[in-house]
Amino acid sequence: MTAYAPASLAARSRVGIRSVRQVRRHARTRTTTACLGLVVALVVAVGAALTLGDYPLPLDQLVATLVGQGTTASNFIVLGLRLPRVLTGLLVGVCFGLSGTTFQNLLRNPLASPDIIGISYGASAGGVLAILLLGWSGMAVSGSALVGALLSAGLIYALAWRGGLSGYRFVLVGVGVSALMLAVVDYLVTRANIYEAQAALVWLTGSLNGSSNAQLHPLALACLVLVPLTLLTGRTLLVLQLGDDVAASVGLRVEAARLAAIALAVMLAAVATAAAGPVGFVAFVAGPVAKRLTRGSGPSLVPAALVGALVVVGSDVIGQHLLPVELPVGVVTAAVGAPYLLFLLVRSNRAGVGG
């Protein structure tokens, strides 16, 4: 009897390890499949955005233009007008998607996205202040939006801190700061003249109209730094989801890791807002949609980034070409995201976690 016990334990251990490997392999396959599907959908959306318009282009002419064999007209339309807009939308979606899912995983709250807790409005207040009061433009507006977002995040963090950080308290304080930043934006707009206010309102709606290389280049440079750093925090977010005590027990410096993740998420939301305005609900829906597609419990950072890019580029195509009246991308994303927010609140209250 005693001779068979170690063999039995070893066999059970091998079965357990094999089961864990199968589960991990199945999860990786599902995530890879979801990402490939999102990439295909994104390629279709980008193709539609580049070919549709007042000057429609056949697919072969589009491909020829992209490989450097286009005509003067197609080069101007595709490379000069449409491609900067599409790439700006794509990068804006990636930034909002990564920022939203980072906040939601870090605070373990599906409402914790930058456009709900005041980060985007902080960036908006900084950008509008730079436009209307200081007369700045270009990179200066982006820098002012970044400062506004960081100040908002710092204010939320300081007010929500009670010897530790509760996700529910962080969201409630963030909603209050969001209202405060919105009041600042409204005050600045109402004291501006009609032309300045109109320009600011177009930016505040969230729009890719007029996107050019001037907005694209600083956004691309910021993404080159921020996106890889955020992807590297995936394992840290996974550990923090287990709770502060468990994270500390495995050697993680909890507050430093949390602050670093929040700083990256804030800067992603800020640079995206500076490029296209506060495009609503992209950060809010990207993470939950990615998790439903992958059916995983982890951060799902790459799928969330792809969902964000698809939502922004697809919504811009819909707003430009598929509706009776041309609408800014922020209006289309809000039309999709607002019902989802109501659904989430109703479901939370039914589950007794809505507060």
In a domain, 159, yes or no: yes
Residues with Cβ within 8 Å of 90's Cβ and at least 6 positions away in sequence, in order, are 42, 46, 309, 312, 313
The answer to whether residue 66 sits within a structural domain is: no
- Nearest partner of 305 among 239, 207, 228, judged by Cα: 228
Distance of alpha carbon 100 from alpha carbon 282, whole angstroms: 8
The pLDDT of residue 231 is: 93
Residue 5 — very low, low, confident or very high, per pLDDT cuts 50/70/90?
low
Whole-angstrom distance, CA of residue 12 vs CA of residue 4: 12
Residue 292, domain member (yes or no): yes
pLDDT for 1 equals 46
Residue 242 in tokens: 């287990």
**What is the rounded CA–CA span in Å between residue 305 and residue 165?**
26
Q: What is the mean pLDDT of residues 246-271?
A: 87
Provide the percentage of residues in the chain whose pLDDT is more than 70.
91
Does residue 331 sit within a domain?
yes
Phi and psi angles of residue 270, each rounded to the nearest 5 degrees, phi first: -70, -45
Q: Tell whether 144 is covered by a domain.
A: yes
pLDDT of residue 194: 79
CA atoms within 13 A on the CB side of 225: 9
- What is the pLDDT at residue 354? 45
Task: Provide the pLDDT for residue 108.
Answer: 82
227 or 249: whose pLDDT is higher? 227
Any domain includes 65: no
Query: According to the model, what pLDDT value does residue 41 have?
Result: 96
| Residue 162: domain span | 86-350
Grade residue 28 by pLDDT with cuts at 50, 70 and 90. confident
State what percent of residues in the chain have pLDDT above 90: 26
Total structural domains in the chain? 1
> Across the chain, what does the average pLDDT equal?
84
Of 67-71, 107-111, 231-235, 279-283, least confident by mean pLDDT is: 107-111
Count the Cβ atoms, other than its own, within 10 Å of residue 271: 26
Return d(Cα 347, Cα 246) in angstroms, integer: 29
134-184 tens-digit pLDDT: 877 777 777 888 888 889 988 998 888 887 777 778 888 988 998 999 899
- Which value, in Å, is the radius of gyration of the alpha carbons in the chain? 23
How far, in Å, CA of 9 to CA of 11, rounded?
5
Q: What is the pLDDT of residues 179-231, one digit of tens each?
A: 999 899 889 888 888 777 777 777 787 888 878 888 788 899 999 999 999 99
Of 241 and 276, more confident: 276
Distance CA 2, CA 115 (A): 63
Q: pLDDT value at position 168? A: 79
Q: Which residues contact 25 (CB under 8 A, 6 or more apart)?
A: none
Residue 261's pLDDT band (cuts 50, 70, 90)? very high
With 70 as the cut, is the pLDDT of residue 345 above it? no
Is 55 strand, coil or helix?
Answer: coil
pLDDT at position 135, please? Answer: 78
How do residues 83-135 score in pLDDT, each as one tens digit?
999 999 999 999 999 999 999 988 888 878 888 888 888 888 888 888 888 87
For the ranges 21-35, 217-231, 341-355, the lowest mean pLDDT is seen at 341-355
Residue with tokens 């691309």: 220
* pLDDT category of residue 9 using cuts at 50, 70 and 90: low
Q: Can you give the CATH number for the domain in which 204 is found?
A: 1.10.3470.10
| Residue 50: inside a domain | no
38 in a structural domain: no
In three-state secondary structure terms, 329 is: helix
